[in-house]
Amino acid sequence: GESVGLHLPTLSVQEGDNSIINCAYSNSASDYFIWYKQESGKGPQFIIDIRSNMDKRQGQRVTVLLNKTVKHLSLQIAATQPGDSAVYFCAETIRPPSGGSYIPTFGRGTSLIVHP
Amino acid sequence: DGGITQSPKYLFRKEGQNVTLSCEQNLNHDAMYWYRQDPGQGLRLIYYSQIVNDFQKGDIAEGYSVSREKKESFPLTVTSAQKNPTAFYLCASRFSGLYNEQFFGPGTRLTVL
């Protein structure tokens, strides 16, 4: 898994396995979380998001779980495919207490390698 | 097609030169952002802008400058004051408000010769 601000870890899985990518976010006041996928040489793409008033959200083959007690976010990918190989980033966004701009903060990402 | 574009895809610069990276979006987004990404690293915020003619420094603004004269455009200039400019630069945009994701451009890879 990864922690916002630490070095890039790597997760290797076999095609067809389920993958779990972890993220430990830093700010207990964060209200909104997003997972992005970045393929080599490209910009990040949105995968799924979750608000702080939710514990779980499901998309197509992906599920995001949020544990606010321990400030932990995870991305589960079902039946992982070679096309899922990429770097995955979590981003947290904080609502400013006195107004102002919402600034997403990114972790360093986890590299997912899917072996055929 | 709606989207966010960056140009050029690859850019080479000699030491001491200023270069400008282009970022354009036709998504009608209010906010625009510039990030720098180094190998094996996450995204570090350089500058961001919430509205036209206004922008704020991010975490690593030194050696960079921006302008926001139009809603659609947010060019980034890498100046000669930036001591280590070789990196992958990403532009993003989003609607204002909390629960809106960022849309990213394809990136510009800048190499200093």
| DSSP result, B23-92 | EEE-S--SEEEEEEE-TT--EEEEEEEEETTEEEE-TT-TTEEE--SBTTB--EEE-TT-S---EEEEEE
A79 touches chain B (CB under 8 A): no
Average pLDDT over chain B, rounded to an integer: 94
Question: Which chain A residue has the Cα nearest residue B33?
Answer: A103
Mean pLDDT for all residues in chain A: 90
Predicted local distance difference test score (pLDDT) of residue A5: 41
Q: What's at A111, amino acid-wise?
A: S
**B14 Cα to chain A: minimum distance (Å):** 22
Decide if pLDDT at A1 tops 70. no
Chain B partners of A5 at a C-beta cutoff of 8 Å? 42
Nearest to A103 among B48, B90, B101 (CB): B48
B10 touches chain A (CB under 8 A): no
Cβ–Cβ gap B48/A101 under 8 Å: yes
Give the tens place of pLDDT for each residue, B73-112: 999 999 999 989 999 999 999 998 888 999 999 999 999 9
Task: Give B40→chain A minimum CA distance, Å.
Answer: 6
Phi then psi dihedrals of residue A49, to 5 deg: -130, 165
pLDDT value of residue A12? 95
Q: Does the pLDDT of residue A10 top 50, yes or no? A: yes
Provide the pLDDT for residue B1. 58
The 10s digit of each residue's pLDDT in B1-10 is 569 999 999 9
Confidence tier at A99 by pLDDT (50, 70, 90): low
Q: Is the minimum CB–CB distance between A54 and chain B shorter than 8 Å?
A: no
Q: How far apart are CA A45 and CA A35, in angstroms?
A: 9
Res. A102: pLDDT tops 90: no
pLDDT above 70 covers what percent of chain B? 98
Burial class (CB in 10 A: 0-12, 13-18, 19+), B81: exposed
pLDDT above 60 (res A11) = yes
